[in-house]
Amino acid sequence: MAVVLLIEDERLLEGFLRNFPSDKTTKKFLALRECTAKTLAFLAEHGFAPVEKNPYPTAYRERFLREYVDVVGALNCELASRYWWATDISSKNRFTSKLSFSLQQFLSAMEVAKSHKQGNLLIINVPWNLLPSLKRALAQEGIAFDALEIRWKKSFDLTAGWLRRLAATLADFGRMFLRYLAARELRTQLEREGKSKTSYYLIKTFVYNHSFSVDGKYRDMFFGRLPDFIKEEKKNVLFLAYVIGDFKNAVRRMKACSSDFIIPVEALWSLRDIVKGCVTALFYRTSYAKEHNFFGYEIRDLVNAELQRTFCRIQPYQLLHYEAARRLLKKISVETFLFTYENNPWEKMCLLAFCHDSPQTRTIGYQHTIVTQASANMFASRREADVLPRPQTILTVGEIPKEIIARYSPGRQAMMEAAGGVRFEYLFPMTTAKRRPLRNILIMLEGVSEVYKMVNYVLEGLKDDRKFEVVIRLHPELSLKRLKSKLKYPVETLPNRSFSKNVSIKDDIEWADAVIYWGSTGALEALCVGKPIINFDAGSVLSYDPLFECQHLKWNVSSQSSLKFVFEEIQNLSDDQYLSLQRQAKAYLSRYFFPVTPDALKKFIPKKES
């Protein structure tokens, strides 16, 4: 027997294994998605061992990123339209688009099948959207295979997916409608300002409830003291905000705020906008007609299956930024439009509105945070340069992010300039911590459920060693209940293992002797104060590490490597070696985040054209 593809269904696998001949041939399996403990036990019982996975080489990751960016670039060129720009797939956002994950699954299956020389190989938990492309590619390679699938699986998944989509859209409508009603209080304020004929410096931002001080003053979480500097330059600043948190409370604080003029996006919607946006998000459909090669394989079927599986997913609130921006421009004049640049759908909606109604406005995208290799949304292929809605200028927090974006975005060098880390000013005065023996280990989590793999890895690696105290710092967007359901060990019952009770990340870092992370930006803060950091590679083809290019005072581990060995390596460094690594790390970060000087802030104020 050669290769067997089994679609994602536990009962189908069990039935297949019960009838599988018992022999001494080599038996391997590759699971494209996680298996339950029951399935793993059943496979082991029948003599099937998992295919060993090695970490992806750097060159492979580089090629994958470039080809993935090129795939979406081709889609953007063919399907360019306002509704297409509102889709998650067009943005390449790693948290909302799963196309890169599907491509990774596809390549994993093909590479294992091609290297299969003898014995039996099962490729299991194959999603229905991958099956046609895998069949074609295996036949193209001349690899004999059998495919076991459930004919109604696709129809069932699409029906269930459509019902979930309908429920989510109705929930979105309800939330947006309630926000629209709550924002009515601020519409009259905007109407009054519109009559003044004042020209504004518009800042699109995100507002939290803790963005306001006790005395009601506003402090922007993304732009720091930049708005105050802009005001000093005799500019009238208006904040267009999306609220994260208690919306009614935020609206009350906006209304009472005497220091700044803040308008929520919802204040610019109409009821008709909300209805139309939800209907469009629910029924917009498109497909990809051209052939496109990815690592030498034709993947049009895979891309169209992903579009079908996701129903060309559009988030209504992102789509409605277009109507909000156009309505704003009918009321006021905007001299400069500044926003957080991540190539998300709402950004493109705003840019399209400005292009249509206010082409004279200067648009500036600010790369306000870190850039990982997995941040494919920050990159663009050369072919889409003429169709992609983009700002006239991109300012970065420093030289290194600028270099990373330019490397994966051919032709963008001319529109980018390093400015300063206005969101990270607190890093610059930090003093370097003295070296201490490794005892206190901090695990920093991201807001995604997959981080349980890192926690399990650490708990497993240190389960018999009580000399280490391990503290897990949760992310605000990660449910503790959801995390606990996937952990191998109940943390509270383990000696010297606990969840952090500190509100401030600074307190946790000061306590720690070393920090283990996956993609948390807190790793930069830890490195800035001279704490050794250890990145956990969860096996994704693209690195989630915000310091993926940094090698100073940083170590890398995976599920196959020994954590204790890394601890020993750190402990065995001489004091001179350790201090040297601290200095090199500090120098790297000084290029990653430029200091916030008056000259840096002036870059956010476009020069008047002569």
pLDDT at 128: 93
pLDDT for res 195: 64
Using pLDDT thresholds of 50, 70 and 90, give the confidence band for residue 3. confident
Task: pLDDT band for 610, please (50, 70, 90 cuts).
Answer: very low
- Percent of the chain at pLDDT exceeding 70: 98
Write out pLDDT tens, residues 304-315. Answer: 999 999 999 999
- Interval 81-95 mean pLDDT: 95
> For residue 54, which phi and psi values (nearest 5 degrees)?
-95, 150
pLDDT at 246: 93
Strands of 287-382 (E only): list them: 293-294, 297-298, 333-340, 362-367
Q: Which residues of 66-86 are buried (b: 16+ CB within 10 A; e: fewer)?
A: bbbbbbbbbbbbebeeebbbb
Through-space distance between the first and last CA atoms of the chain, rounded to whole angstroms: 75
Identify the pLDDT of residue 1.
46
- For residues 320 and 348, give the distance between their C-alpha atoms in angstroms, rounded to a whole number: 11
> For 22-75, how does the pLDDT look when each residue is reduced to its tens digit (9 = 90+)?
777 888 999 998 888 889 998 998 889 999 888 889 999 999 999 999 999 999
- Inform me whether the pLDDT recorded for 292 exceeds 60: yes
Q: What is the mean pLDDT of residues 227-249?
A: 94
pLDDT, tens digit, 9 for 90 and up, residues 545-556: 999 999 999 999
Q: Is the pLDDT of residue 497 over 70?
A: yes
Looking at the DSSP assignment, which residues form a beta bridge with residue 238?
A: 202, 261
Asked whether the predicted pLDDT for residue 345 surpasses 60, the reply is yes
User: What is the rounded average pLDDT of the residues 223-240?
Assistant: 94
Q: What is the mean pLDDT of the chain?
A: 92
Mean predicted confidence (pLDDT) in 490-496: 86
Answer whether 418's CB lies under 8 Å from 396's CB: yes
pLDDT digits 0-9 by tens, 411-435: 777 889 999 999 888 888 888 999 9
Residue 389 to residues 209, 265, 285, 402, Cα–Cα distance (Å): 31, 20, 21, 19
Domain boundaries, the chain: 1-181+269-314, 184-267+320-418, 440-592
| pLDDT higher than 70, residue 11 | yes
State the CB neighbour count (10 A cutoff) for residue 182. 19
Please write the tens of the pLDDT for every residue from 507-522. 999 999 999 999 988 9
Confidence tier at 149 by pLDDT (50, 70, 90): confident
pLDDT tens, position by position, 158-178: 999 999 999 999 999 999 999
Residue 264 burial class via C-beta count within 10 angstroms: exposed 0-12, middle 13-18, buried 19 and up:
buried
Q: How far is CA 360 from CA 83, 338, 356, 392, 609, in A?
A: 24, 14, 10, 11, 11
Alpha-carbon gap, residue 371 to 406, rounded angstroms: 12
Domains 184-267+320-418 and 440-592 share a fold: yes
Mean pLDDT of the region 317-340: 96
Pick the CATH number of 184-267+320-418 from 3.40.50, 3.30.70, 3.20.20, 1.10.3470: 3.40.50
pLDDT in tens, 293-304: 999 999 999 999
pLDDT of residue 325: 97
Which residues does residue 515 pair with via DSSP β-bridges, in sequence order? 442, 533
pTM of the model: 0.92
Q: Which CATH architecture has domain 440-592?
A: 3-Layer(aba) Sandwich (3.40)
Q: How much is the pLDDT for 13?
A: 87
pLDDT at 173: 98
Which residues partner with 209 through β-bridges?
none
Structure tokens at 100: 């890169």
